[in-house]
Amino acid sequence: MNSEKRSRLMRLIALLIIMSFMSWTIVPGSATAAPSPLGTKARASALIDVQSGRLLYSHEGDTPMRIASLTKIMTAIVAIEHGNMNDMVKTSKRAFGREGSSIYLRLGEEMSLSNLLYGLMLRSGNDAATAIAEHVGGSEEGFVLLMNQKAEEIGLAHSQFRNPHGLDEEGHYSTANDLAKLTAYALRNEAFAEIVKTREKRAPNPIDSWDYRWQNKNKMLSMYDGADGVKTGYTKKAFRCLVSSATREGQQLAAVTINDGDDWADHRHMLDWGFKHYPMVSIIEKGNDIAGYPYVAAQRFHYPLESDEHNAVHSKLQLIDAATTAYALGERGRLAFYLNGQPIGAVPIYEPGNPRLGSQ
């Protein structure tokens, strides 16, 4: 072979090598670039996946701030958990005279706790908040104790409540991250979730011939596909505050902004960003075999993951003592999952065919 032919052959081999390398790097399904940066006009903001509780985004997330009527998210969940929805609640002088946004309860008027909660969350009634607090907590002060106990219980490390309505008061504050955690917790309650996604509610009026009719102040319910909550807020000191939620393809996200002059647009952008970059990924499905062991998963486990994180999820089998009650009932341990070494969840494991698998 002469030198010219040898040269052409070498060039062809080099070209084939380059083409082979290029096709390898663009294989469909390979890792993509990191998510584009997310920004808002808010002083503080946060985005959370409701099911997993994973915080997807945070800006000044642990900075305590005034939160206006976002307070009522806590008021509602405490009332739902501690009260009887069918109870009739009487409007006291204190509730009747409460300043700010109102559903215009009359002194001595009685309304069910259930309907008051709709008035609280759809119209942000401060009179409703006070009436609810007095009824469920025995007094407004007693109810505030329940609010702070709940905050401690669910790990709101930078929040303190002084009232059930959110009017500005020294020592009354929360953070974007804490409100995201609170919202994720509350949205897992069916009664709360049903209330905050309601666009219009009618309630009987015991005094006049016409019924109450409340339109939800949350514009996200009509301007964003899949929106299903949560709460607006405003005071002159807190400025505009908003918590919104939306569900798409089985995944629910909640966004929080505090002191934001363009909150409707920011929330649409935040939710779009979350659904695009952190979709829910199936880690394991119920009934899947546990590799290397004679066990199967008793539950499914899904988790929101950015595309570059898929290979960073690892699992560890944790077997339980054969002397335990759980073992006697068929459980053999738990399969724990970790993302970059941090725990993100676990599912129980059973032997195949165990009858308890049908009830998990």
User: Which residues are tagged catalytic?
Assistant: 69, 72, 124
Q: Which residue in the block uniquely carries the two structure tokens 């052959």?
A: 9
Please report the DSSP string for 102-157 in residue order: ---PPTT-EEEHHHHHHHHHHH--HHHHHHHHHHHHSSHHHHHHHHHHHHHHTT-T
**Amino acid (one-letter) located at 236:** K
* Closest to 265 measured CA to CA, from 223, 306, 293: 223
Quote the tokens at residue 161: 């409540």
Bridge-based pairing state of the strands 280-284 and 251-258: unpaired
What gap in Å lies between CA 289 and CA 117, rounded to an integer? 45
- Range list of H helices, 124-277: 126-137, 140-153, 176-187, 190-196, 220-223, 263-277
Compute φ and ψ for 321, nearest 5 degrees: -65, 135
State the distance between the two ends of the chain, measured CA to CA, in whole angstroms: 72
Bridge-based pairing state of the strands 313-319 and 331-339: antiparallel
156 to 182, 209, 231, 238: CA distances (angstroms): 8, 44, 18, 19
66 to 103, 184, 306: CA distances (angstroms): 23, 20, 32
Quote the tokens at residue 106: 């009359």
* Closest to 244 measured CA to CA, from 216, 276, 279: 216
